[in-house]
Amino acid sequence: MRVGVGELAVAADGETLTTSGLGSCVAVALVDERAEVRGLLHAMLPTGDEARTAAARPGKYVDAGIDALVAELAEAGASPERLEARVAGGAEMLDLTDAVGPRNVERAQRWLAAAGVPIVGSDVGDGVGRTVSFGPDGTLVVRAADGFERRL
């Protein structure tokens, strides 16, 4: 199942969740291995605190997206206490003083810590775009635009 920019999806079967175009965006993959339920978020911006679209489109924001993804995973049978996270993306694609990528990564790390969800793998930063696939075995495969591949 394809997860677009600013979207999130949950899979409770053998389906693989994929997303591409991760530059400064961040992908947050959550899994409850015991319940065999996984979810993937492709967030563009760190926070939806002051945005009217946060309620209508939570996947656009790291904080609102993680909250929405945890809620959807719980509805699908996952236990929030058993969730594990893998995080990818957050590249510094442009030379800016207020780069979005590092802010997305920092927000994801803080939001997951506050939710009690451990990050068990990450591939973040640098200046390279990424594509990810999140398979039924709970492994997040990260392919960088430079050809490098990691399994988290």
Long-range Cβ contact pairs of 122-126 (< 8 A, separation 24 or more): 122/86, 122/87, 122/88, 122/152, 123/87, 123/88, 123/150, 123/152, 124/26, 124/87, 124/88, 124/89, 124/90, 124/91, 125/90, 125/91, 125/92, 125/101, 126/91, 126/92
Whether the CA torsion 16, 109, 54, 6 is positive or negative: it is negative
Q: Among the options 11, 25, 40, 117, which is catalytic? A: 25
Q: Which of 37, 103, 26, 32 is nearest to 66 (CA)?
A: 26
Backbone angles phi, psi at 132, to 5 degrees: -130, 150
Annotated active-site residue 25? The verdict is: yes
> Do the beta carbons of residue 61 and residue 74 sit within 8 Å?
no
By annotation, the residues acting in catalysis are 25
